[in-house]
Amino acid sequence: MCRIFSYWEDPILSEDQVTQMPVCTRLDVDDLTLLATLKLPRICELSVSFDHPGFDVIWETHISVNANLSGLELLHAHGWHQQADLIQALRCLPVLRSLILSNGSDLDAAFFGEFFPMYPDDNAVRMRSHDEGQIVEIICPMLSSLLIEGWDPTEQVDLIPVLKQVVTLRAVYCYPLKRFTLSAIKFRRKFELIGSLGGLVTEMVSLDEDAEPFSLDI
């Protein structure tokens, strides 16, 4: 387990200059460029900020090469430059089970629509519907827990039908979300969107007085 923070200017990225971390499985790093300098063959849980204007190049050229993203099971993204960066990262994570997004108030219908089953293409993971025998595409097929912090659904009620589709369609194709939570720490409110029978509910739950935003336990 490791937590690393950067206090100076971004390191120079080079394929020949990386820090080997052969046994690290859990990492909390505040800087995307710093993450790109680490060799992580066994990474399973990662917390990082995606807030970088050159995200697409850094992710494809360095991070996807140096880190074993195919084995990542938990991702905590606490900041991003644009929603497209999140989607680019999620398409590389076939066994992701838990996704935590902090400061998610700017997420829109287009972002959540990426979690719908799709027609086959080269960028997503294939999955077969047991009901219809169809091969469809779905992002993060093993995702079972989705937590979005800093977002109050009562302020964006037009997104509730979209969230309901995410829950319903993923369940239809046999990869259901077991937990879908929106939390507004500032207002001490939490919305659990998965009911006991797997349906969508929007009941508000009051957060405990000592409730804090998610942080990777290191």
217 contacts 98 by C-beta, under 8 angstroms: no
pLDDT at 201 over 80: no
Determine the Cα–Cα distance for residues 14 and 35; give it in Å rounded to an integer.
12
pLDDT the model gives residue 15: 62
Q: What are phi and psi of 35, to 5 degrees?
A: -60, -35
Q: How confident is the model at residue 206 (pLDDT cuts 50, 70, 90)?
A: confident
Is the sign of the CA dihedral 2, 85, 82, 167 positive or negative? negative
Which pTM does this prediction carry? 0.84
Q: How confident is the model at residue 107 (pLDDT cuts 50, 70, 90)?
A: confident
Helix (H) / strand (E) containing 162: helix 160-172
| Sequence-ordered strand ranges (E) for 68-194 | 74-80, 98-101, 125-128, 135-138, 145-149, 179-184, 189-192
Domain ranges of the chain: 21-206
pLDDT the model gives residue 2: 92
Q: What are phi and psi of 3, to 5 degrees?
A: -125, 125
How many other CB atoms are found less than 10 A from the CB of residue 208? 9
The pLDDT mean for the chain works out to: 82
Across 45-52, average pLDDT? 93
Q: How confident is the model at residue 86 (pLDDT cuts 50, 70, 90)?
A: very high
pLDDT tens readout for residues 12-32: 665 667 889 999 999 999 889
